Structure 1
Amino acid sequence: MARHNASELARRLARDAEAVCRHYLSNGRRQGRYWMVGDVRNTPGRSMFVRLSGPEFGPGAAGHWRDAASAEHGDLLDVIRVSCGFIDFRDVANEARRFLSLPRAQPPPKPARTPVPAGSPQAARRLFAMSQPIEGTLVEAYLRDRGIKALHATGSLRFHPRCYYRPDDHSPTETWPAMIAAVTDLSGHLTGAHRTWLDPGGFSETTLGKALIDTPKRAMGDLLGHAVRFGLAGEVMAAGEGIETMLSLRCVLPTMPMVAALSAAHLSAILLPDTLRRLYVARDDDPAGDRALATLIDRTQEAGIEAIVISPRLGDFNEDLRLLGLDALRAASRVQIAAQDVAQFMELTA
């Protein structure tokens, strides 16, 4: 669709901005000259505000919005795009025309979307883009059922309600809900994705909330050296294998930047930021974890980085959290980290 047609659609939507907000941002409410809601994905809250009146163009125009928490901004076409989960602008325009009771546009034929190789970084980026934030989803319930309550700054995690799963090359494709984790390089560029397929029935002591399939966890894309990241690395960082392991440790070190390398082999090869001066290595209690630990310590020493190993009392830190409790995990971790980092990063009260 031509740019001037898009602008005209945005103007027409802005003339009835409150009706648009009531339909697509139904979890919000009017407050004075604004519509207030949590974000453009229709999350309850008050971070995002939409102007309901104003000029047709320029600063203060009706229909323009901004999210104070994320700095996202746009117009009412962006509201339709994100809240409906559209990727192609043609779908956004058709939905806007449907809302405005206008005839559907007949765009010129366009080539089909270029296929990308299965398991490639491009496929990982598409999968992550098609997923949604974890708030209020099965992913949030899965993590909370595993005792993980500290879910701040988890933008690297998303939820896909029907993620493809194929047991092998000779089996039909299934769909399961899944936790999707972005694997990124040191600059934040998405290079891969990790999928944890979930049981729609919820948590049980036998599955711990994962789907009843042969391999409920798989990664795709360019993984070597990269990781799932929680927080921006500075002079101090913690690194370990599993997502749930690192999120468990985060429950007692909530402001320490952490990364999950997804496997012992990838942990030993993780790329270290130039700013890093001290690395905490969250050890898994198994032979593969010990080998990864030895390799990573050698690499940090060569780079002039202090390495400190922190060990769980059981098999990993999520086991400690679930079976021993938050206070026990906090006490065991406190004696293993430097005193200055206790003061800076550790939450000392329950």
Structure 2
Amino acid sequence: MNAVPRQTYSIDEIKLMLVDQLDSVVARFAPPAQGSHTTHGKYFTLNPGRADRSVGSFCIQMTGPDKGRWNDYAVGAVAGQGYGDVLDLIALNLGCDLTGALREARAFLGLQTFSAEDAARHRAAAERQKRLAAEAKAKETEQKDRRRQAARAIWHSGQMRLRGTPVDHYLRGRGIDLERFGRQPGILRYVPECRYYHFDRDTGEIIEREFPAMVAAITDKAGRTIACHRTYLALDGNGNWSKAPVPAAKKVLADYSGGYIPIWKGIGPRGGKPPALHQAEPGQHVFMAEGIEDALSAVLLLGGEARVIATVSLTNPVELPPTVAGVTLIADRDEGPQARAALEAQIARHRAAGREVRLWFNEWGGKDLNDALRLVRTEEEAREDD
């Protein structure tokens, strides 16, 4: 076995070799910290390149076609700072440029001086990783398309008129009277028999039933339906409609990353219904709440004049159309570190897009804005009784 001088590899080949050993790369250059965890193939830990205070905004994709990609939503959309690939991760850890990262990567992979057999093995590993990544990408694209089509079918199958349905009764129980809106939020529909499926990873238990459901279309910034949000409903012990007694009464079908639920369009210039957000005039301002109930509560508390959307999740990197010049983030009274990190990430993301960002903290009490609405309604009813 003859030793050969240092082999010449392209940057892409070195990246593929690093991805093939991603667990070891991550352990070395983005080590675990207090609160580190892996969720849905994403490994969350502290950003190794800055004074990160808590786990929540920095994550690395450990599986799938984007394996090795990382994002820091608290930093913004700046390559090498807010996101990057596996080689950028090394540069982030060392605080060096691409040349320094390549030197470190070659040393990590043992590419400085090795045999011809070693060179062949490394190239084979890189080709294998490239083939697997292409196969995973194709499979993921096919699965996403199927799930998106199923999500659209569920929403289109829903009943548009909500008055008198379990959805209407459920919302009234949350202090949200649809008659106060003047017009029904068109994004919400009622499905009398909606399939529910839940798999408990810890116990292996599968729950599969049908429930009435409130369904909402999740759209992208161009107004296209990309996913479907379902709130499963059931009668409680008192005969009132509430969330179904299942492990997760709210579920989303299909990939909703970047999307949002356009709950309310506000009031048009002549008092009518204004156009959709992506078709509106530039300079729009949007109120953003996490959940549907909070977003509907905001519409009522603001008098129906403002545009309001639901983000579905605190960590969802919502992408808004260029017509939006400013956002008001509706924050829960939640002081947890993950909630704070998610809020900071949303603020950074919209500021990086050049938008004015305001915060609206619930000052009425309760955990979220829907709690606040119910408190306001209770006080109004008490005054009416006096």
Question: Per the shorter chain, which TM-score range?
Answer: 0.5 to 0.7
Say which is worse superposed, 229-238 or 254-263, in terms of deviation: 229-238
Give CA deviations for 1:39-76 in whole Å, capped at 9, x if unaligned.
xxxxxxxxxxxxxxxxxxxxxxxxxxxxxxxxxxxxxx
Selected match of 2:367 from 315, 318, 335: 315
Question: After superposition, where does 1:127-142 map in structure 2 within 5 Å?
Answer: 127-133=154-160, 134-142=162-170
Q: Does 1:248 align with 2:281?
A: no
What is the percentage of aligned positions where both structures have the same residue?
Answer: 30
Q: Confirm whether residue 126 of structure 1 aligns to residue 153 of structure 2.
A: yes
> Per the alignment, do residues 321 and 119 of structure 1 end up closer, same or farther by CA in structure 2, a change over 3 Å counting?
farther
Aligned residues: 210
Task: Indicate the structure whose relative CO is greater, using CA pairs within 8 Å and at least 6 residues apart.
Answer: 2
Distance 2:328 2:214 in 1: 26
Is 2:222–2:321's contact at 8 Å kept on the other side of the alignment? no
Partners in 2 of 1:208 and 1:319 — Cα distance?
17
For residue 97 of structure 1, what is the aligned residue in structure 2?
Answer: none
Where has structure 1 moved over 4 Å in runs of 4 or more? 115-119, 201-204
Letter in 2 for 1:228: I
Pick the aligned partner of 1:165 from 192, 196, 210.
196
Q: Equivalent residues in 2 for 1:189-228 (5 A)?
A: 189-201=224-236, 209-228=242-261
- Whether 2:326 is the aligned partner of 1:293: answer no
Match of 1:181 in 2: 216
Residue 258 of structure 1: how far off its partner (Å): 1.1
Change (3 A) 1:185 1:264: same
Measure how far apart 1:272 and its partner are. 1.9
Q: In the alignment, does 2:318 pair up with 1:261?
A: no
Distance 1:160 1:236, change over 3 A: same
Partner of 2:262: 229
Would you say 1:238 and 2:266 are equivalent positions? Answer: no
Give how far 1:122 is off. 0.6
User: 1:136 Cα deviation (Å)?
Assistant: 2.5
Distance in 1 (alpha carbons) for counterparts of 2:224 and 2:166? 26
Counterpart pick for 2:377 among 307, 319, 325: 325
Give the TM-score normalised by the residue count of structure 2: 0.50
Three-state SS of the structure 1 residue aligned to 2:318 is coil
Q: Matched residues in 1 for 2:244 and 2:174: separation?
A: 14
Aligned CA distance change for structure 1 residues 172 and 289 (closer, same or farther; 3 Å): closer
Cα distance, 1:118–1:177 mapped onto 2, change above 3 Å: farther
The one-letter amino acid paired with 2:232 is: W
**Residues 186, 153 of structure 1: alpha-carbon distance in 2 compared, 3 angstrom cutoff:** farther
State the 1:323 CA deviation. 2.4
Shift of residue 303 of structure 1? 2.0
Q: Which runs of 5+ in 2 are unaligned?
A: 1-141, 266-275, 381-386
- Structure 2 contact 234–244 (Cα < 8 Å) conserved: yes
Letter in 1 for 2:185: T
TM-score of the two chains, using structure 1 as the length reference = 0.55
Flag the 1:176–1:208 CA change in 2: closer, same or farther, 3 A. closer
1:271 counterpart = 2:304: no
8 Å contact 1:284–1:290 — kept in the other structure?
A: no
- 1:202 to partner: Cα distance: 8.4
Q: Matched residues in 2 for 1:261 and 1:172: separation?
A: 27
Q: Quote the offset at 1:164 in angstroms.
A: 0.9
Which amino acid in structure 2 is aligned with residue 164 of structure 1? Answer: R
Aligned-residue CA RMSD in angstroms? Answer: 2.6
SS where residue 251 of structure 1 aligns? helix
The residue number in structure 2 matching 1:64 is none
**Is the Cα–Cα contact under 8 Å of residues 198 and 210 in structure 1 kept in the other structure?**
yes
The one-character-per-residue Cα deviations of 1:289-331 (angstroms, maximum 9, x if unpaired) are: 3222211111222222111100113211000011243879xxx
Task: Report the AA paired with residue 215 of structure 2.
Answer: I
8 Å contact from structure 1 (residues 181, 228) kept in 2: yes
Q: Does 1:280 align with 2:345?
A: no
The alignment partner of 2:246 has SS state of coil
